[in-house]
Amino acid sequence: MDIYSPLRSTYGSNPTESLLSRPPRRHARRMALFLVLNAVAIGVMFAMGVVMHTSMTRYDTALAHVQAQHTSLQATALKLEEASGLLKAVDITDKIPQSHAEAPAPASLEAQLAELRRMTTILEAMPHAMLPTKFTAKYITPHKNQVRRGTCWDFATISYLEWSYRQHGVTKGFLHEDAYVALSEQAYGTRVINLCAGPISSPQQVVCRVAGDEFWNNSTEGGESSALFYLEDGLKDAILPEAVCPYIGDHGPNDTVCDGMDAALRTNPIRFEMKRMYTYYDDMTAKRELVKQGAALDLSTSIASVTHYYPCIDAFYDAAHCAPSSCTLCPASLTQTTCCVPQFSIKAINMEGEYLHDHSMTYLGGHGMLMVGYNDAFLTQDGYTGGFILKNSWADGPTQGSHSIKWWLQDISDWEERILCPNSHSPMNYYACGNAAVAVNNATPSPKWHAGFAPCMEPKIEMFANVSKQPLHLDCTAAMCSANATYFVKNSTDYGDKMYKFCLWELDSATNATRDLCLKPNRLDGIAKELTPRVAYPNDPDLCGFYFMPYETLRAYNARYKGLRIHSFDMTWADSSYVANKAKFPQYDYTLLEASTKKQRRADFPGPFPFAEHINFHKT
């Protein structure tokens, strides 16, 4: 190699010169060579040491980073559940290395937003299995009723705006946590219809011409929540408080009447800005976005109606149910051979507000609601596990009920829920008594109390029914019933195909004669039309009005009918939009806003018994 060539040249330059003739020179050269080789070796070893140290340092850093990420993911999940109100604060600092546990909590709003963005980035990469098993957004406003109009899109949009306005106001300190502003569906629908008007080729008509909708045609019967984004430029200063004009529940020429709207718009303090709209098309993404954003989402989905079948037997041959001429083969899912069709076009939803689907469903139409949360573990009466909690715009009444958010989250007992949302018209909530082993014969009333009926007249039974908010005394309008009698539920049994058979005790008010009888099997809403409570406890309008859509049902609707769209809107509200800041904006009139600011009642129970409290006994 090149390093040896100078020695070779020197040693061979003079043939008469021997190795011993100049020993000092040769020794010096050998020493120099030795030192050079050692220096190179030391340098190589030093370099290897540096590389190994750097690698170990990087490994330690990477390991610490992975551990920190793992801990952060756990902490994020805990924080998310804590933020939703589903979990009390958990101290995990003893599980975190000291270097990661001493980070100071962000104090400023900017620091909090930065932390939120960081957590959002982590959450976007988080597997769905690490999402909370249940979640709901905060600051959801009370339910409202669209009555007999096709304005679900209007109510869903206003529900989203009320939530967004409230969430922004509480976060900025402009609203108390229990305060909210009711916004006007009547004014919003009217404004959207006006903005949609124009020639067929105009941009606004392109936005508003959606198959199945009518809001392009000067009608509120069918519209889209996405209009909030597409028509934002005409809506950003046109959201008005509820007090501006009343909502008109009957469909007709007054759909777009809002007499105070034009004057209110001139001094309206409410302003919003929107950066963009996000749209999702599956339930898994919707779950992630609910948690990631800590926000409500706007849902548009197809819904269905279902048909139910009776067996073709003599007991059901009457005009209200079946006739021999209507008998046909039963669906494969039923055990009977021949069936008749007793009812048609029944919404695929039960009296508890739980959506359902089955083999017989047909398309009913599109519907808009506010998606406020989910529960992976909730089991519906029809056997579906897990689904979304939805704020609907349908009224509670004789054939339809609803529940509170806490019920769908399984955060309260059934007794506590009956205090909030008793759903008194649902036959499943009637208080049963006298369920002795007595054969039902629909016989002529006995002149004295039947022994099996006696418990229904005990004072404690009436007390139990009252304290649990369950109707005990009933009226019956079925053909086999008497107008002069009082009825009590003896028992109910599942008849199949989502039908029930209710057996009753009858007490003649004049003679005290009693008998037992059974109604023909029917769906619960059919039973509710024949059997009504003497005393019906009302649902709390501040807390009820929420429905449950199983994941499986939402997928079934979308698979067969399509039309699933879930929106979120990236928007902010101007400071002028809040009464708390009215002194800073004298150019605006806050009268309507003040009149529409309300307080939402809360219901907090210390345990499973709604009327019980912790008692402190004092020794004497």
- Provide the residue type at 365 as one letter: G
Most confident of 309-323, 428-442, 517-531, 585-599: 585-599
Query: Hey, is 150 helix, strand or coil?
Result: coil
* The pLDDT of residue 61 is above 90: no
Give the number of other Cβ atoms within 10 Å of residue 410's Cβ: 12
The pLDDT value recorded for residue 78 is: 52
Closest CA to 592 of 289, 160, 311, 269: 269
The pLDDT value recorded for residue 441 is: 57
The pLDDT value recorded for residue 111 is: 80
The pLDDT value recorded for residue 23 is: 47
Tell me: the pLDDT tens digits for 161-196? Answer: 999 999 999 999 999 999 999 999 999 999 999 999
Among the CATH numbers 3.10.310, 3.90.70, 3.40.50, 3.30.1330, which is that of 135-295+570-599?
Answer: 3.90.70
* The pLDDT of residue 93 is above 50: no
Q: What is the mean pLDDT of residues 329-344?
A: 76
The pLDDT value recorded for residue 553 is: 98
Return phi, psi of residue 478, to 5°: -65, 160
List, in sequence order, every residue forming a beta bridge with 305; answer none if it has no partner.
347, 362
Closest CA to 181 of 157, 161, 156: 161
Query: Hey, is 578 helix, strand or coil?
Result: coil
The pLDDT value recorded for residue 96 is: 38
* The pLDDT of residue 217 is above 60: yes
* The pLDDT of residue 426 is above 90: yes
Furthest CA-CA distance within the chain: 153
More confident residue, 134 or 252: 134
* The pLDDT of residue 43 is above 70: no
Tell me: the pLDDT tens digits for 191-204? Answer: 999 999 999 999 99
- Which residue is listed with tokens 């079934």? 556
Give the number of other Cβ atoms within 10 Å of residue 243's Cβ: 18
* The pLDDT of residue 223 is above 70: yes
Q: How many CA atoms lie within 13 A of 88 on its CB side?
A: 0
Q: What are the residue ranges spanned by the domains of the chain? A: 135-295+570-599, 424-538
> SS3 for 92-146, per residue?
CHHHCCHHHHCCCCCCCHHHHHHHHHHHHHHHHCCCHHHCCCEEECCCCCCCCCC
The region of weakest confidence among 2-11, 56-65, 502-511 is 2-11
Calculate the dihedral angle through the C-alpha atoms of 479, 480, 486, 489, rounding to the nearest 10 degrees: -110
Tell me: the pLDDT tens digits for 283-299? Answer: 999 999 999 999 999 99
* The pLDDT of residue 113 is above 60: yes
Q: What is the mean pLDDT of residues 523-533?
A: 94
Quote the mean pLDDT of the chain.
Answer: 84
For 333, residues 6+ apart whose C-beta sits below 8 A from its C-beta are 358, 359
Query: Which alpha helices (DSSP H) does 173-298 contain, by range?
Result: 185-196, 203-208, 227-230, 232-235, 261-266, 283-293
Q: What is the mean pLDDT of residues 342-357?
A: 86
Q: Are 533 and 424 in contact (CB under 8 A)?
A: yes
List, in sequence order, every residue forming a beta bridge with 547; answer none if it has no partner.
390
Tell me: the pLDDT tens digits for 574-617? Answer: 999 999 999 999 999 999 999 999 999 998 898 899 988 888 88
Return phi, psi of residue 482, to 5°: -115, 140
Tell me: the pLDDT tens digits for 466-521? Answer: 999 999 999 999 989 999 999 999 999 988 788 899 999 999 988 889 999 999 88
